[in-house]
Amino acid sequence: MNRTPRTLTRSRTERTLTADVVVVGARCAGAATAMLLAHAGHDVLVLDRALFPSDTVSTHVIARTGMVQLNRWGVLGALHDSGAPRLTNVSIHAGSEVMARTIKDRHGVDHLLAPRRIVLDRLLQEAASRSGARIETGVSVDGVLRHPSGRVVGLRAHDDRGGIRVHARHVVGADGLGSRVARSVGAPLTLERATSGAVQYAYFAGPWSGIEYHVGAQALAGIFPTHGDEACVWVCAPEVVARRHRRERPHDARLAGLLAQLTPSLAERVGAAAEQTSPVRGMLRMPNHARAAAGPGWALVGDAGYHRDAITGHGISDAFRDAELLAVALDQALGDPADDSAALQAYTRTRDRMARPIFDITCELATFPPLERFVELQRQLAAAIDDQAAELAARPLLAGAAAA
């Protein structure tokens, strides 16, 4: 159920709004944070510069950690109903060797999903709206508002009707890698590793039976079946290699060229069985870093606060984890303002602790180590994901968090 906006003033040139929490960004991290906080009874306003439905760069797969949270929040059923295929089989192709496994039932999850973001983001926004969050789109944020003490107390924004001032007890930046909120508050980097990887992908129609990984020299590529009997076919490779193909090949031939050079097993698989149905998309530079997660009156979640190479496919799951951790912290801070700083410091510590094992594995995988080491890192990754899924499954739900 939607709340009526508490509008203090309105004119042709400026609106002034209030909220307990204003969230900048309405995709995975922002919509999930808003959903959880609104269902806990807080007044939440979400702003996004996009006009939805709107797609975004993503390879779509949701790891077991993220699946555990979708299940706990009551959102998983809507994704099933949307037509996202249940993925129960995983195969790893390395040279002539193929290793196959079935996803085991752990922590209430026996399959994975790789939904199109245009579907996933919409479902999370709908769940946030049903929980009571207000969502305004087509709104660009200009910067934060500060109290003379330095505490962030809101933000300045604008849309096609004019300026907007939002007064809020907390401002959440869920606005992605180039976060305006992070820049406005001066959130420093607290952890940084070398940036060397790139990812390119396109959609292909064809007969897809499960998740596939194809290991090549200086590359990892794969298939994630998604909506509409299509799959996201992707390749992670060194940035220098991806840039060379970008210069040397026509736009829609870049992915095919990378696959043919780096993972011929996948190139043959796709070439024989599939038709490309979209342009090539991706990122040519994927930073590995974390920013300060929170400060007086502000917090960051999702890619705004923590970003890693896509080679481990854990970005959506990281966003869900941190959304829940932040929602719990903000619920505590809003309930007891005297506990504000301690609650946000706890969010920072827990985010950093839980993110670090997968972050370290990701950074090493992004160097494309020899096959033996690559396989060992994949084993470590599976164990780290299972450990994190177990911890998330055991966490008490925020009051009313099974919102959908």
What confidence tens digit (pLDDT) does each residue in 291-312 have? 999 999 999 999 999 999 999 9
- Report d(CA 350, CA 345) in Å as an integer: 9
The closest alpha carbon to 287, from 178, 198, 177, 195, belongs to 195
Q: Is residue 160 packed enough to be buried (19+ CB in 10 Å), middle (13-18) or exposed (0-12)?
A: exposed
| pLDDT for 7 beyond 80 | no
pLDDT confidence band for 11 (50 / 70 / 90): very low
CA terminus-to-terminus distance, the chain: 11
CA 83 → CA 78, 255, 272, distances in Å? 9, 26, 25
pLDDT (0 to 100) of residue 251:
66
**So what's the pLDDT on residue 229?**
94
Q: What is the pLDDT of residues 160-189, one digit of tens each?
A: 999 999 999 999 999 999 999 999 999 999
Residue 387: pLDDT band with limits 50, 70, 90: very high
Q: Kindly report which listed range (4-13, 46-55, 81-90, 280-289) carries the lowest average pLDDT score.
A: 4-13
Domains of the chain: 7-57+117-192+286-367 (3.50.50.60), 197-283 (3.30.9.100)
What is residue 8's predicted lDDT score, i.e. its pLDDT? Answer: 46
pLDDT score recorded for residue 12: 59
What's residue 404's pLDDT?
Answer: 56
Q: What is the structure's pLDDT at 211? A: 97
Least confident range from 42-46, 272-276, 362-366, 399-403: namely: 399-403
Query: What pLDDT is attached to residue 146?
Result: 98
Q: Residue 331: its pLDDT value, please?
A: 97
Confidence of residue 402 (pLDDT cuts 50, 70, 90): low
In single-letter form, the type of residue at position 194 comes to A
Average pLDDT, the chain: 93
Is 396 a residue whose pLDDT tops 90? yes
Report the range out of 90-104, 209-223, 246-260, 351-365 with the highest average pLDDT: 351-365
The confidence score (pLDDT) of residue 401 equals 64
Task: Please report which confidence band the pLDDT of residue 147 belongs to, taking 50, 70 and 90 as the band edges.
Answer: very high
pLDDT digits (tens, 9 = 90+) for 209-239: 899 999 998 899 999 999 999 999 999 999 9
- Mean pLDDT throughout 112-130? 98
pLDDT at 246: 79
Q: Coil, helix or strand for 234? A: strand
State the pLDDT at residue 1: 42
**pLDDT at residue 217, as a whole number:** 84
6 alpha carbon, distance to own chain's centre:
30
Q: How confident is the model at residue 85 (pLDDT cuts 50, 70, 90)?
A: very high
CB–CB of 199/59 below 8 Å? yes
Cα distances from 391 to residues 76, 241, 388, in angstroms, run 19, 38, 5
Q: Indicate the angle between helix axes 117-131 and 28-39, nearest 10 degrees.
A: 20
pLDDT band at 248 (very low <50, low <70, confident <90, very high): confident
Give long-range contacts, CB 8 A cutoff, 24+ apart: 237-240: 237/197, 237/198, 237/199, 237/200, 237/262, 237/368, 238/196, 238/197, 238/198, 238/368, 239/195, 239/196, 239/197, 239/198, 239/284, 239/285
Give percent of the chain above pLDDT 70: 95
Is the pLDDT reported for residue 6 higher than 70? no
Higher-pLDDT residue of 124, 256: 124
Model pTM?
Answer: 0.94
Of 60, 22, 50, nearest in space to 319 by CA: 60
Token look-up 């951790």 returns 325
CA atoms of 254 and 37, how far apart (whole Å) = 43
